């Protein structure tokens, strides 16, 4: 069965492509390389022994997308392609709305025209904002997102709810918590462009000496050690959840399905706990300094992922330390590559 994977050379997409190939799906990638690199395609081939079909173009270019649908018998899509930098989205909201939503609508129009079902959307825990209660389950009320990026996820979810209902389609909205780690082969991982915003890439680059010190954004939160808490989920566990969610849609006897799942570990870790776990896992030092809080940050978010376990038979399996070990191996690989 052929599955379109948009953004399939990106961080989460590339890991998912490997899992799809391991599960005998034929993968067709569309990625414009705006936040990824071509060598990832070779590395996917090295891991799986199969080279996915690859089209390098921007999904907002509707006519090129139509050609892909004409050339292949596509029976489902996992839509990773999006811009994802929260801060940048506030400076360039129109670019974010255009990229993230036009590309989504273009794919959905092809699905509608060709009577295709089975659509998986990369959503985010950002749709919950600072939830009033922990852990966050899928019935937790959504709060208006603070960033334009977050709004593209909320709007994307709304578009897909209407799409599923009006055209009788099977749709799964996957709300990721904080993805971390790299492929155990060290051939796939996150490629932060410029100075990383996210915690784990910044910690990794600090340990590697690329950054002098980690800035810990705030130690005056109402948590045990005063630093903010998140749910860090290993990227390959996350990738496996996509295959499980896709199989559920494909095997469903219902014509119309709207699944929503939180994908997290169910466990919260503070910023300082992540730093310590990284040091312990990799036997390296991560110098840090305490700084004021970062604007827009919430105090705490971790998932209740019981629904995914019950309905998809999926749960996170990898510990924080194990995940952070793979990150460090990936960093070493990147260093060797550029030498
Ligand atoms: P990523 O930037 O590594 O991957 C996205 C890929 O999409 C990139 O390879 C990029 O080149 C491609 N792309 C972007 N716009 C495109 C377009 N118009 N046409 C074709 N290709 C395009 O990001 P990621 O971390 O792998 O995230 C994947 C998805 O998961 C995104 O939708 C993101 O919003 C969502 N998400 C990510 C996180 C996270 O922390 N990484 C958390 C929650 C949700
Ligand atoms: C985690 C914690 C920081 C960097 C973002 C998006 C969210 C989702 C995941 C896509 C926070 C602290 C960080 C640093 C630090 N992405 N930190 N020093 O903010 O939970 O979520 O990525 O959907 O939408 O907003 O992740 O990794 O940026 O931060 O102290 O240099 O680490 O303050 O408490 P966040 P993050």
**Which tens digit of pLDDT belongs to each residue from 24-73?**
999 999 999 999 999 999 999 999 999 999 999 999 999 999 999 999 99
pLDDT at position 192: 87
SS3 (DSSP) at 291: strand
Mean pLDDT (the chain, rounded) = 98
Distances in Å between the alpha carbon of 129 and those of 70, 145, 216, 226? 40, 6, 21, 19
SS3 (DSSP) at 4: strand
User: Cα(216) to centroid of ligand 2, in Å?
Assistant: 11
Q: Look up the ipTM and state it.
A: 0.99
pLDDT at position 173: 99
Tell if the pTM clears 0.90, that is, is over it: yes
- What token pair was written down for 271? 């910023």
pLDDT at position 127: 97
Catalytic residue among 11, 149, 221, 302: 149
Cα gap 10→81, rounded to integer Å: 8
How distant is the alpha carbon of residue 257 from its chain centre? 22
Domains located in the chain, CATH noted = 2-180+233-263 (3.40.50.720), 182-230+266-304+318-338 (3.90.25.10)
pLDDT band for 213, please (50, 70, 90 cuts). Answer: very high
Q: Which ligand is nearest to the CA of 288?
A: 2
Percent of the chain with pLDDT over 70: 100
Binding site membership of 124 for ligand 2 (Cβ less than 6 Å): yes
User: Cα(16) to centroid of ligand 1, in Å?
Assistant: 12
pLDDT at position 53: 98
Cα gap 289→218, rounded to integer Å: 10
The answer to whether residue 11 is catalytic is no
Q: Which ligand is nearest to the CA of 105?
A: 1
């Amino acid at each position: 069965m052929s599955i379109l994977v948009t953004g399939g050379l990106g961080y989460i997409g590339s890991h998912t492509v490997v899992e799809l190939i391991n599960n005998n799906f034929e993968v067709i990638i569309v990625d414009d390389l705006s936040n990824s690199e071509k060598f990832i395609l070779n590395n996917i081939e090295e891991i799986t022994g199969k080279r996915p079909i690859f089209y390098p173009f921007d999904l907002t270019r509707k006519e090129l997308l139509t050609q892909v649908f004409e050339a292949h018998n596509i029976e489902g899509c996992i839509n990773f392609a999006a811009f994802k930098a929260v801060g940048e989205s506030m400076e360039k909201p129109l670019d974010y709305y255009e990229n993230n939503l036009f590309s989504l609508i273009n794919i959905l129009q092809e699905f509608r025209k060709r009577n295709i079902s089975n659509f998986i959307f990369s959503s985010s825990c950002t749709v919950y904002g600072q939830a009033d209660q922990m852990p966050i389950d899928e019935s937790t009320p959504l709060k208006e997102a603070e960033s334009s990026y977050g709004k593209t996820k909320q709007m994307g979810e709304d578009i897909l709810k209407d799409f599923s209902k009006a055209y009788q389609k099977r749709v799964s909205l996957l709300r990721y918590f904080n993805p971390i780690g790299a492929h155990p082969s060290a051939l796939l991982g996150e490629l932060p462009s410029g100075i990383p915003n996210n915690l784990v890439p910044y910690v990794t680059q600090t340990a590697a000496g690329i950054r002098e010190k980690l800035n810990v954004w705030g130690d005056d939160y109402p948590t045990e050690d005063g630093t903010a808490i998140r749910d860090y989920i290993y990227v390959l566990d996350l990738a496996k959840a996509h295959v499980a969610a896709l199989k559920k849609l494909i095997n469903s006897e219902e014509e119309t399905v709207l699944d929503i799942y939180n994908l997290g570990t169910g466990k919260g870790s503070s910023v300082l706990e992540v730093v310590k776990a990284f040091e312990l896992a990799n036997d390296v030092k991560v110098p840090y300094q305490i700084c004021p809080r970062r604007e827009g940050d919430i105090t705490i978010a971790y998932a209740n992922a019981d629904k995914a376990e019950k309905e998809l038979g999926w749960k996170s399996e990898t510990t924080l330390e194990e995940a952070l070990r793979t990150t460090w191996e990936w960093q070493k690989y990147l260093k060797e590559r550029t030498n």
